Amino acid sequence: MSTATIQPDAYCVFGNPIAHSKSPAIHAAFAGQTGEAIVYERRLAPLDGFALAARGFAAEGGKGANVTVPFKLDACALATELTPRAKAAGAVNTLRFDGEEILGDNTDGAGLVADILRNAGVAIRGKRVLLLGAGGAARGVVLPLLQEQPQELFVANRTVATAAKLLEQFQQAGAGDIALRAGGFEQPEGVFDIVINATSASLAGDLPPVPATVFGSHTLALDMMYGAAPTVFMEFAAQQGAQVRDGLGMLVEQAAEAFFVWRGVRPATQDLLALLRGAL
Binding region for shikimate: 21-23, 68, 93, 108, 226, 254
Q: How many CB atoms lie within 10 A of CB 241?
A: 12
Pairwise CA distance, residues 101 & 271, whole Å: 35
**Residue 78 in 3-state DSSP?**
helix
Of the residues 72, 87, 127, 165, only one is catalytic, namely 72
Are the C-beta atoms of 87 and 142 separated by less than 8 Å?
no
CB atoms < 10 A from the CB of 164, how many?
17
Q: Which residues fall in the annotated binding site? A: 21-23, 68, 93, 108, 133-137, 224, 226, 247, 254
CA distance 243 to 194: 10
Quote the CA–CA distance of 178 and 176 in Å, as a whole number.
6
Which residues does the annotation place in the binding site for NADP(+)? 133-137, 224, 247
Alpha carbon distances (Å) from 232 to 24, 172, 202, 221: 29, 36, 6, 12
Indicate the pairing of strand 94-98 with strand 64-67.
antiparallel
Q: Rounded to the nearest 10 degrees, what angle do helices 136-147 and 160-173 cross at?
A: 30
127 is catalytic: no
Dihedral sign (CA 13, 19, 25, 28): positive
Question: Alpha-carbon torsion 51, 52, 55, 60, what sign?
Answer: negative
C-alpha distance from residue 225 to each of 109, 204, 265 (Å): 14, 11, 27
User: Which amino acids are annotated catalytic?
Assistant: 72
